[in-house]
Amino acid sequence: MADDPKTLVSTEWLAAHLGDPDLRVLDGSWYMPDSGRDARAEYEAGHIPGARYFDIDEISDQRSSLPHMAPPPEKFISRMRALGVGDGHQVVVYDGMGIFSAARVWWLFKLMGKTDVAVLDGGLPKWKAENHPLEDMPPVVRDRHITVQRQSHLVRDVAQVAAASKLKDWQILDARAAARFRGEVPEPRPGLRAGHIPGSMNLPFMELLNADGTMKDLPALQAAFEGAGIDLARPVITTCGSGVTAAVLSLALERLGHNRHALYDGSWSEWGMYPDLAVEKG
């Protein structure tokens, strides 16, 4: 894999740069509510040296009834300053699954206009498997100024997605498992209908990953998108259950040099809730 500090870096790259003064490592672990895992407790028990915990649920727009919607810029600024993350830093985000929620944090930084941010390929499982160091000490944090400029073209709301579903000017790609996409199993969040956005296509995010949790190489990524029916010459809206794994699709598109993609932040947590929005099954 070619390391790219704007998308994806290897554990070897991170190990070599861990002492860099302008490197900031974030633990962006987040788990489904029914997983039985506690991301913050796992972080406190052991994390990559110097890593700070990025709480996806807390660093969000808590005025919304939807889970972990993108925070307003001023909240993002205050939370990043508290973590000692600011202008001039190279950020690397990892999670406890391999590549799962770290991509959501990567996308949030992109949304705020910060581009020097990468996901750790293979995440904490690969780091541990290679016997790289861990620590349980809280990092020493120094406040750092951060400027943000929200990139509105990277996010879509329900009205924009409904228009895309009707007009078909943007392709809609769903990262959920195939059985959820087809509406064959109930949604993990109560009260949501089963199925998918009319006209959307399905590429379960796991199909972009190797068995060890690393992202597939570029030819395999391209084949996966094309196999799902995506025309890589046209723009794509990514979606999923609650806007987390959709970012894995967005990260893979960015790896392929496809930069006309946007993420539906409300995702199925929003679409599946409203009875006046059409749902397809099968």
DSSP secondary structure letters along 104-128: HHHHHHHHTT---EEEETTHHHHHH
50 and 69 in a single domain? The answer is yes
Strands 261-264 and 155-156: parallel
Identify whether the C-beta of residue 89 lies closer than 8 Å to the C-beta of residue 83.
no
Domain total of the chain:
2
180 and 129 in a single domain? The answer is no
SS3 state at 89: coil
Angle at 39 between CA 35 and CA 183, to 5 degrees: 35
- Residues annotated catalytic, as ranges: 240
Q: Which pLDDT value is given to residue 221?
A: 98
Q: What CATH number is attached to the domain comprising 15?
A: 3.40.250.10
266 and 168 in a single domain? The answer is yes
DSSP strands (E only) in the chain: 8-9, 23-27, 52-53, 90-94, 117-120, 155-156, 171-174, 201-202, 236-239, 261-264
pLDDT digits (tens, 9 = 90+) for 245-267: 999 999 999 999 999 999 999 99
Identify whether the C-beta of residue 49 lies closer than 8 Å to the C-beta of residue 134.
yes
Q: Which pLDDT value is given to residue 1?
A: 73
Rounded-to-integer distance, Cα 57 and Cα 242, Å: 11
Domain range for 73: 8-150
List of the chain residues with pLDDT < 50: none
Q: Which pLDDT value is given to residue 2?
A: 83
Q: Which pLDDT value is given to residue 67?
A: 94
pLDDT digits (tens, 9 = 90+) for 175-229: 999 999 999 999 988 889 999 999 999 999 999 999 999 999 999 999 999 999 9
Identify whether the C-beta of residue 230 lies closer than 8 Å to the C-beta of residue 203.
yes
138 and 158 in a single domain? The answer is no
SS3 state at 47: strand
Residue 65 CB contacts under 8 Å (≥ 6 apart), including other chains: none
Q: Which pLDDT value is given to residue 34?
A: 84
* Last residue within a domain, chosen from 124, 150, 176: 150
pTM listed for this prediction: 0.98
Rounded-to-integer distance, Cα 265 and Cα 69, Å: 6
Q: Which pLDDT value is given to residue 33?
A: 82
Nearest to 203 by CA among 183, 169, 180: 180
Rounded-to-integer distance, Cα 168 and Cα 278, Å: 15
